[in-house]
Amino acid sequence: MKNIGAILEEAGYSYANVIKSTCLLSDMGNFKAMNEVYGKYYPENPPARAAFAVKELPLGVLIEIETIAVK
């Protein structure tokens, strides 16, 4: 989420501009922990979100998040 914030800021956006995220998890058992962290960045009016379990993510990461933001 910090990386997403840095990318948004560099492009002149903020978390408030995010309209949708897609979360890819290596294990759905991590969903609760991911959801808790994710929620801290969107305390009000969270964007639409989809979450999926995938077999494997690059470099062995546990989660990958695709984010769409608009102004």
pLDDT on residue 30: 95
Q: Which residues of the chain register pLDDT less than 70?
A: none
**The pLDDT value given to residue 62:** 95
Q: Go through the domains of the chain in sequence order and give each one's CATH number.
A: 2-69 (3.30.1330.40)
Angle at the Cα of 31 (from 2 to 49), degrees rounded to 5?
70
Considering the entire predicted model, what is its pTM?
0.88
